[in-house]
Structure 1
């Protein structure tokens, strides 16, 4: 039976990196621009892995928008439901610390990604999807964020049950104060079935709180499945309070851009393969959560092994299996 699509609602971002290899003249800064943005990265990961994926975004008509469309289509993501936006694209300029962790400065005022109207959102094709994934800046920035909140709360059901709702807060404190996320997160948890976030997100949302206690807090708010990725310590998954730890696969890290987004894509892809999206989530077991998280960790590790937000294809996963075995013998884990 053909699988129903996963819809991903959120932003595309032009990720710019200083390019020291370019032959530019003194006094110039050369930037290499790659298509990114947390939701777009997740859509790419899902589609490359083989999940029918529909991206729901407001994509600009500027040159960055053309880059986004080429990248998403080339990865197999459906764009028919995207809004052709008059506003410019969002730009993020990344720098790296010695561990390959990216830090961003954003140019995001008045850009296309947050300008959702109620009419645009009402027109999105959601009645046939098994899952709607959203989050990141599109869920928290005005004016579109509150409208997306209302959408996931009022998501129409379909024959066989309501689509699974997945949320990744992806906290960006340079653009939105963490206090804003803290105030709105209980509302997201009440509407969501899956909450995936990073250790950095946890530190900003619940400073000083352990991952286990944070999971319990968010379960009480209503979300049944919480997965916290912990970098090179792997991930913690909690299904209604029953928990398991998943180690990070060994890998050589180039950078961590898009690793969490790829993890989310891998997680949702594998849950879909198990028949656990949509109404099937009610039958989800902890063993299945562990299986899905281990797969997602492999997807994230491969994303870390290349530059930029470049999730793997199935052939990359197959080719990496013997390399992973060799790295395991050398004891070099990488972040998930």
Structure 2
């Protein structure tokens, strides 16, 4: 069975709930604080809970943050291909969560930035495996190791790009190097519009496929309106399952994890996207980045 492999950073999310963001130089009182394993962890947990074999290839450190990441991955059977870095702890992200479910982030780097092409290669991707790449790994110092790793992959490995907000701001030549190896694009609507320069969301999948290549599969998420799936010259709208959100943090990563796991298990893209939409709908009704549902929970939801 193909595996879901992730190259991106695993971090700890320190989620603080506030009534509103403070003005510059001001103060806000925190109503609640929770700690979660986040970043690549969210996608991997979603994939594992769906039934796929999932492996994290990023770096991780020693200390309470690294321990939390390893503990949460191990609980769902997600393997680690790399060893802990002994000289640093894993980094963390402060997530300010407002009642509207809007999030604001502050990130502190740690051991997760200590990757090399050799350390990523311990994932040992084989044809059919789905290798997840985040646009956030294209910042220094992780950019060149990731590019070297991607350009060494054997034919038949699916490279899944989750561009994030930064990708559209990178230089064109850097974008082209990544897109040349990409076979699957999965993003939210704003990220698709940013790279294509198009306002009409329905036009973005085909434009992205032209940019990447005719072999590409393009998935664009549009919140409670569902997602668009475009491949082999055909576009399909996959409806969402709107819910009242309490926390949207990790919903997109949950969608990606379930989408790729379903593909690894043999589903077509449209069926995989339907289940990914359902999983994301469940996730937003729960707090934290570890909120991905199990396969049984998605079955029950869809029933």
Please classify the TM superposition score into its range, dividing by the shorter chain length.
0.7 to 0.9
Q: Deviation at 1:171?
A: 2.0
1:82 aligns with 2:82: yes
Q: In 2, distance between residues paired with 1:297 and 1:118?
A: 33
Q: Which residue of structure 1 aligns with residue 279 of structure 2?
A: 299
- CA gap 1:28/1:267 in 2 versus in 1, 3 angstroms: closer
- CA gap 1:183/1:260 in 2 versus in 1, 3 angstroms: farther
SS state at 1:59 partner? coil
Q: CA RMSD in A?
A: 2.5
The answer to whether the 8 A contact 1:6-1:129 is kept is no
> Between Structure 1 and Structure 2, how many residues are aligned?
290
Q: Which residue of structure 1 aligns with residue 43 of structure 2?
A: 42
1:201 aligns with 2:201: no
Q: Which residue of structure 2 aligns with residue 247 of structure 1?
A: 239
Structure 1 segment 313-324 matched on structure 2, within 5 A: 313-321=294-302
1:55 aligns with 2:35: no
Q: Give the alignment partner of residue 168 of structure 1, picking from 162, 170, 182.
A: 162
Q: In 1, distance between residues paired with 2:296 and 2:107?
A: 34
SS state at 1:219 partner? helix
SS state at 1:33 partner? strand
- CA gap 1:211/1:240 in 2 versus in 1, 3 angstroms: farther
Q: Deviation at 1:45?
A: 0.5
Q: In 1, distance between residues paired with 2:302 and 2:154?
A: 41
Q: Which residue of structure 1 aligns with residue 22 of structure 2?
A: none
The answer to whether the 8 A contact 1:8-1:56 is kept is yes
Tell me the TM-score normalised to structure 2 length. 0.86
Q: Any unmatched runs of 5+ in structure 2?
A: 19-27
Tell me the TM-score normalised to structure 1 length. 0.78
Q: Which residue of structure 1 aligns with residue 257 of structure 2?
A: 265
Q: In 1, distance between residues paired with 2:135 and 2:12?
A: 15
Residue deviations 1:239-282, cap 9 Å, x none?
1431111111132311111111111111111112226xxxxxxx
Q: In 2, distance between residues paired with 1:107 and 1:204?
A: 26
Q: Give the alignment partner of residue 216 of structure 2, picking from 224, 238, 243.
A: 224
The answer to whether the 8 A contact 2:251-2:283 is kept is yes
Q: Deviation at 1:203?
A: 4.2
Q: Which residue of structure 2 aligns with residue 132 of structure 1?
A: 131
Q: In 2, distance between residues paired with 1:129 and 1:60?
A: 30
The answer to whether the 8 A contact 1:116-1:144 is kept is yes
Work out which structure has the larger RCO, using CA pairs closer than 8 Å and 6 or more positions apart in sequence: 2
